[in-house]
Homo-oligomer: A and B are copies of this chain.
């Protein structure tokens, strides 16, 4: 755009005022309550910052035992410590994201790596994606069954292949050639995910007799549980990653948003990094991760207003449940979700927050 037009100055004034007006909007969720999970945006640059999620869904305080609550908080806290150690010592955002997600992939509580949900065929198929905001390079794997750390495979696709997205046995062949750790599919087994499959399949059998259409999924909540991480390092680089076991009782080789750059994951040093979790079909149709960037890049929204517009307005209007974590180049943090809760946390120098429910 060349600013040689005589009206340009007036345009600039108009845009500046509109921008100011946007930034002054109160950030509220759909129930009208202020969304306390969005830090007011500033332009002071944090030395480093990192934000994580462990899935969004129907997470109510009343449904949670004290023990389970504490296990989740402790895991989120440990994940933040791992990433912060990398960033504090001047390590790269890429290393922080990979190591943090590697840890979350090892924790059986989350639907990623060990603890991944079961497909309809009683298997585990894992997806992950990784994006570097400095180069806009990206990598992803879909439907891998024997790669211990899908996020590491996604990073290897980015760094050591000419491709962005590898799937199935081909992705596994690539991981093997890269010398990545492989495990038998049974490694991913956990009793609680097995029970969830049995439940989903019995309820599905009941529902099948009542409906002919597949348009209404009987268990929207069985889509949740993905993990993700976005980091800003001391060099100002933003990296985002997402890893998931997909959807309980998954059929037909369904691919969700997690391995899709622009849907589940996006990073761009000029604006923000984003990792999503939720009802993946909506996140693909609405290109959610890229949309946060686009609102900032073209709509001149702040991070808080961009994530709000996408998650609390666009997705809510469409009926798409879920949430996302994001940070911008200043280290402002957003943890925005339209569900009852989201396992989440962030860390900056001298600041650390871990949360699960909406009312905290």
Which chain B residues lie closer than 8 Å to A164 at the CB level? 280-281, 284-285
A8 interface residue, CB < 8 Å from B?
yes
Q: Is A184 an interface residue (CB 8 A)?
A: no
Q: Complex formed: what's the CA distance from A163 to B253 in Å?
A: 10
| Residues A18 and B14 in contact, CB atoms below 8 Å apart | yes
Number of interface residues of A (CB under 8 A): 67
Copies in the complex: 2
Query: A62 near B: Cβ within 8 Å?
Result: no
Q: Which A131-165 residues sit within 8 Å CB-CB of chain B? A: 131, 136-138, 142-143, 160-165
Query: Which A residues, 1 to 38, have Cβ-Cβ distances below 8 Å to chain B?
Result: 1-2, 5, 7-8, 10-15, 17-18, 20-22, 24-25
- Contact of B170 with A168 in the complex, beta carbons under 8 Å: no
Given A8-B21, A137-B285, A290-B290, output 10 extra A-B contacts at Cβ < 8 Å.
Answer: A1-B22, A11-B18, A160-B214, A161-B214, A166-B255, A167-B255, A170-B252, A171-B252, A262-B263, A299-B299
19 A-B pairs whose Cβ atoms sit less than 8 Å apart in the complex? A1-B25, A7-B17, A10-B13, A11-B15, A11-B18, A14-B17, A14-B18, A136-B285, A142-B253, A160-B215, A162-B217, A164-B281, A165-B255, A165-B284, A168-B253, A261-B263, A266-B287, A287-B290, A290-B294
